[in-house]
Structure 1
Amino acid sequence: MQQPLLNKTFSEKNHEEVLSLNDGLMAKIHNSNDPHYCSSEPFRVSSYALILITKGKLNIKINFENYVLNQRDILLVLPHSVYEIADNSSVSFISIHFNKSYLKNKGIFFNSGETYRMSKDVQSHKFSLSKEEYTFIYYDMLALHKKLHVSKDTPQIKNIVHNSFLELLYDIFLLKNKQKDPKPFVHNSRTELTNRFLALVSDNFKKEKRVIYYANCLRITPRHLSQVVKQVTDRTAGEIIDEMVIREAKLLLTSHVMNISEVAIELCFSNSSFFGKYFKKQTGVTPSEYKMSNNIAV
């Protein structure tokens, strides 16, 4: 009985269904005159999105940390991160959403290791545009939005839309590359192994929290796995597993849909007591303390 409500609360299922119906790519315009356009509840989606603030400012939590996006700021929303918009009544923005399937079908690949590194540093996927840059990107996004609403029967419309999307994506990459990156991401065997590990953890962290499980899947020793992953992400394999579990636990506790025992079951802990000890060790507070201070009424 809980799961349909849970999916609705997180906005994930409906979002992914709509995205799928639109071939994995869609655009939305949020107007401050309609403050209910976005959910105020925590949400997590498995797709990417580009958000450009066109007016006002957006107070947003990313993985339970507070950030402020101002006019002319652009943010790359990463898959599987947890987002919560605290107040959207005085902001307008345009967003482009695209999933991994769309990218893969078009021959575009985002590196999992780089995506994880970006998720640890919001500044690496959020930046401000000058007036000239803002105008440039804003009209790119508006053009894509307009083309996405052209009849699907229009000849060559899929190719037209895709080319418009690529133009937007590459324009943003060009602007982002103007900024110095103190840690350029190097693609080699270590990053490839880390990518495979991150993909495995993303799919299995609820049931499997042991480093040895992932090491066995990758046919290497746990020590070697942790050493390689730490070189690429600055976190050990165990730390990454714990991060994903705790992020999910916080989302479930905040949702006000499940009680603590149900959260423990959802995350495959043997009992709520064991889950409570694990959660307090990782966060410094008990699940009930976290739930009380972060509840969102539905």
Structure 2
Amino acid sequence: MKEVIPILDSCTITDNERGDILVDRLNHYLDTHKNLVFPHRHTFYHFVVFTSGAGRHSIDFNKYEVTPWQIYFMSPGQVHTWDFNDDVDGYIVNFEKDFFQSFLLKPDYLESFPFFSGTDNSNVKAIPREVRADVEIICKQLYSQVNTVQNKNIDFQKVLLLSLLMLVEQHMAVTQLPQFQTHNMVVLRNFQKLVEENYLVKRMPKDYAEMLFITPNHLNAICKELIGAQAGEVIRERILLEAKRLLVSGEVNISQIANELNFNDNSYFTKFFKKYSGLTPEQFKRDYAM
């Protein structure tokens, strides 16, 4: 099926001779890329630190009001768009999925950061007052390191970026899980990865429980405890998200979307979409606007 939401890679939006990281002042980036206000995805990790201004932005169809000292994160594949006021400023950082390859021993290290999990309650956070100065200092250092011509040090860029991510994570208001829940968190992350890879063909919690070598009841209990949702809800939400992504373009019809998502017919897809979104597919297409 034709890709209906544009996917931007680093070559599309940077003239940096190294395409693996971009760091820019937000007002300059927005002025340079005025044409990127349509819904689109990235192949890279992306985050923005707002230091001033206002406006709105949308990540996977969840809308947020911009406030100074807010930070939002996006993982590859998420859909977003924005409508910022002229006075908005801050820093924007884009970096490739393999930016830390050969630098960190754990290939999935970035996935340990909650704000790159792709869930609604982790994408957008307020930066506490006590660390704002530190965040801005690191942003300025990273901007200088990436954009300087002389004395550029790629490893130093990676250290600065990791320092920024760790600083933000350390001061995010995240409930610390007791140590005995660590195993459950690993199971949850693995479940979420499996859903991402298989949601088009596997719709039942028992399918994933079998792959995780646990019982469906155990999987449901872990999901309920850690994210407040049943395993079936996680699967349905991923299918619903993909349906929304396919609907926003308007370049495909309901039959094509139903077929892409492996629904038996249009009627079943429409009932599913309305039941879990509260809107028919046609209403969602009409009502969704940044």
The Cα of 1:84 is off from its aligned counterpart by 2.5
Matches within 5 A, 1:26-41: 26-31=22-27, 34=31, 36-37=33-34, 39-41=36-38
Question: 1:60 maps to which residue?
Answer: 57
Q: What is the CA–CA distance in structure 2 between the aligned matches of 1:85 and 1:225, rounded to whole Å?
A: 36
Is 1:42–1:82's contact at 8 Å kept on the other side of the alignment? yes
Q: What is the CA–CA distance in structure 1 between the aligned matches of 2:261 and 2:196, rounded to whole Å?
A: 13
Q: Secondary structure at the match of 1:41?
A: coil
Question: 1:140 maps to which residue?
Answer: 138
Question: 1:72 maps to which residue?
Answer: 69
The Cα of 1:140 is off from its aligned counterpart by 1.5
Letter paired with 2:139: M
Gaps of 5+ in 2: none
Q: What is the CA–CA distance in structure 2 between the aligned matches of 1:264 and 1:38, rounded to whole Å?
A: 30
Deviations 1:150-185 (A, max 9, x none): 45xx778222222222332333344x15xx544547
Matching of residue 198 in structure 1 with residue 186 in structure 2 = no
Is 1:112–1:195's contact at 8 Å kept on the other side of the alignment? no
Q: Secondary structure at the match of 2:264?
A: coil
Question: 1:226 maps to which residue?
Answer: 220
Q: 1:14 to 1:229 in 2, by over 3 A?
A: same
Letter paired with 1:14: D
224, 245, 251: which one pairs with 1:257? 251
**In terms of mean alpha carbon deviation, does 233-242 or 63-72 score higher?**
63-72
Matches within 5 A, 1:1-298: 2-3=2-3, 6-8=4-6, 12-15=7-10, 22=18, 24-31=20-27, 34=31, 36-37=33-34, 39-45=36-42, 47-87=44-84, 89-103=86-100, 105-107=102-104, 109-111=109-111, 114-115=114-115, 119-122=119-122, 125-130=124-129, 133-150=131-148, 157-174=153-170, 176=171, 180-182=173-175, 184=177, 186=179, 188-294=182-288
Letter paired with 2:126: F
The Cα of 1:97 is off from its aligned counterpart by 2.3
Would you tell me which structure has more helix in proportion to its own residues?
Answer: 1
Normalised by the length of structure 1, the TM-score is 0.79
Q: What is the CA–CA distance in structure 2 between the aligned matches of 1:36 and 1:17, rounded to whole Å?
A: 10
The Cα of 1:48 is off from its aligned counterpart by 3.2
Deviations 1:227-281 (A, max 9, x none): 2222222111110011111111112111222221222122222222221111111
Deviations 1:174-218 (A, max 9, x none): 4x15xx544547552211111111011112212322223222222
Letter paired with 2:210: N
Identity of aligned residues (%): 24
Q: Secondary structure at the match of 1:37?
A: coil
Q: What is the CA–CA distance in structure 2 between the aligned matches of 1:112 and 1:158, rounded to whole Å?
A: 22
The Cα of 1:60 is off from its aligned counterpart by 1.2
Q: Secondary structure at the match of 2:126?
A: strand
Q: 1:294 to 1:156 in 2, by over 3 A?
A: closer
Q: Secondary structure at the match of 2:54?
A: strand
Q: What is the CA–CA distance in structure 1 between the aligned matches of 2:8 and 2:134, rounded to whole Å?
A: 33
State how many pairs are aligned: 284
Q: 1:142 to 1:289 in 2, by over 3 A?
A: same
Q: What is the CA–CA distance in structure 1 between the aligned matches of 2:46 and 2:157, rounded to whole Å?
A: 16
Deviations 1:112-167 (A, max 9, x none): 69458782425x8411443x74343223112212212345xx77822222222233
**In terms of mean alpha carbon deviation, does 103-112 or 45-54 score higher?**
103-112
The Cα of 1:44 is off from its aligned counterpart by 3.3
Q: What is the CA–CA distance in structure 2 between the aligned matches of 1:61 and 1:173, rounded to whole Å?
A: 22
Gaps of 5+ in 1: none
Q: Secondary structure at the match of 2:48?
A: strand
Q: Secondary structure at the match of 1:172?
A: helix
Q: Secondary structure at the match of 1:31?
A: helix
Alpha carbon RMSD of aligned pairs, Å?
A: 3.3
